[in-house]
Structure 1
Amino acid sequence: MNGTPDRDASPEDRILAMARAFQASRVLLTAHELDVFTLLSRGAKSAGDVARQAATDERAMDRLLGALCALGFLEKKNGLFANTPESERFLSRDSEEYLAGLAHMSQQFRSWASLTQAVRQGTKADPGPIDSDDGQRTRDFIAAMHGRAKGNAANLARLIGLDGVRRILDVGGGSGVYAMALVREAREATAVVLDLPKVALLARQYLREAGMQEKIAVVPGDYHQADFGSGFDLIVFSAVLHINSAQENLALAHKAFAALNPAGRVAIEDFVMDEDRTGPARGALFALNMLVSTTRGDTYTEAEIFGWLRRAGFTDLVRKQTGPGSSLIVGRKPS
């Protein structure tokens, strides 16, 4: 796909290419919002046909489709537009490999437009997907998180190591995707997913579709306020710490410690920043994503996360790389 800065270009051209990179992103997201790729998955069409089915202006749609061809998302032959194999695979809602997270990215695009204001005032200007009363935003957000986690969840379960694990608590567990992977890996285990009531409703749906509702319970509640209970062998925080302030994360570490059995473990999967906070790039950009979409969220360093865990009483802290900029951190409650 085109639209990214060329490393062989001059410094001026690289800067300008990055400054206008939003154009290619906006073209893709607009096409997704108008269901262009899904419409074309049912056969090649003229710009007029796509415009009528998408309820848009024909000339404007023709220009959008032309830009999509230029960017490598579509092909044009004999006046008809068609998906490329890659677009058919990942961008059509009819595909099993459809990237459901694009709907959430459309919302992020709007939130990022307020970055200047957020930097000036130190907090977001727009409610985030979970804070919002818009149920569709919540569904889009959870679908995005589920899609991103599917490939990583099984690997995370293996990295944690689940020998002897019987009871698992997945805090802020979203769709339950990590709880499902953990229970599949530790076949004798059961799990509890704790998340906000409107997210819990969606989690139950995902669990029913996966046939996992008998082994995984869903508890609605705000993890800052809810009682974690007791008797757990493993407590998981996946993509949770970055939503919260440092003080809130310290409090969560204490709550996890109290809810674990002796020798139980806490597992944290998240972006982990270099100590000078200048990298990795994905984590640095995600810190700004938290600025425009949460009131207190941030990305944190290993020293910060280890510090919370040690203050809560955890020992034997280890960190393993799980992806670009992200890591798994595991700590143990003494026996």
Structure 2
Amino acid sequence: MAGGLMGAFPALPHGGLGRGREGPLPPRVDCTRSPRCAQRGTGRLIPTTLQIALPRAPVLQDLPGVLDLNRAQGREWPGVTSFPGDFLEVLPEGPFDLAYLGNVTHIYGAEENVALLTRLRERQPVGGMVAINDFVRGRSPRAPLFALQMLLSTHQGGVRSEAEYRAWLERAGYEDVRVEDRPGGVKQLVLAQRGP
């Protein structure tokens, strides 16, 4: 059973989100490096404030029970549409300028991740981006211990290297892959752009 939080920021007629005002967005989404955003992730929702204007409502996807729990605990964001469902089975309609996967890829094996990335790509315009927020083996000091946790807790999950992310993204049709350390260097942001 797949868990996951999906937030999707719709593609706009002019091809991006306008910058300008601060406003609450779904958790763990950092769009300050790109004006284009979609979100997936697992776990507790932690709202964040970003420097972008949203002319259209983003979509937040997670399992129905997780969305219900967050709603019961008052973790909802104005203007964000909830989409209940397992993202390995169903995704909201696009197009989405950015797909954000927060704490998702470490849960699954290579083939499941490539399939998910490929399905995301199909909902993005050329030039759309994917951002993966996770531990990267060889860069994160917490990666070895977290890899052990994934070995014990998942069927095929684990902590992946930059080369593995690059290979997955390229198989799924993305290009211009790069990895950036998040503040503190504990987690990394893997970024890539949808190719033609």
TM-score tier, shorter chain, comes to: 0.7 to 0.9
SS of equivalent residue, structure 2 residue 148: helix
Pair 1:290 & 2:154 matched: no
Pair 1:242 & 2:106 matched: yes
**8 Å CA contact retained: 2:117, 2:169:** yes
Gaps of 5+ in 2: 4-26
| Structure with more strand by fraction | 2
Cα deviation, 1:26-70, whole Å, max 9, x if unaligned, reads xxxxxxxxxxxxxxxxxxxxxxxxxxxxxxxxxxxxxxxxxxxxx
**Cα distance, 1:252 vs structure 2:** 1.1
CA spacing shift, 1:186–1:294, aligned 2, 3 Å: same
**Cα distance, 1:270 vs structure 2:** 0.5
Give the count of matched residue pairs. Answer: 170
SS of equivalent residue, structure 1 residue 230: coil
SS of equivalent residue, structure 1 residue 157: coil
**8 Å CA contact retained: 2:28, 2:102:** no
Q: Which has the higher contact order (CA 8 A, sep 6+)?
A: 2
Cα deviation, 1:204-263, whole Å, max 9, x if unaligned, reads 346x556x23x1111111111113422111110011100111111111110111111221
The TM-score normalised by the length of structure 2 is 0.75
Which structure: larger Rg? 1
CA spacing shift, 1:187–1:270, aligned 2, 3 Å: same
Q: Which residue of 2 aligns with 1:311?
A: 171
CA spacing shift, 1:305–1:209, aligned 2, 3 Å: closer
Q: Distance in 1 between matches of 2:83 and 2:133?
A: 21
| Structure with more helix by fraction | 1
Write the mapping of 1:104-253 to structure 2, written as runs, cut at 5 A. 153=28, 156-158=30-32, 160-162=33-35, 165=36, 168-172=37-41, 174-177=43-46, 180-181=47-48, 184-189=50-55, 190-205=57-72, 208-209=74-75, 212-213=77-78, 215-253=79-117
Q: In angstroms, what is the RMSD of aligned CA positions?
A: 2.6
CA spacing shift, 1:204–1:175, aligned 2, 3 Å: farther
SS of equivalent residue, structure 1 residue 226: coil
**8 Å CA contact retained: 1:244, 1:296:** yes
Identity of aligned residues (%): 30
Structure 1 segments (4+ residues) deviating >6 Å? none
CA spacing shift, 1:186–1:175, aligned 2, 3 Å: farther
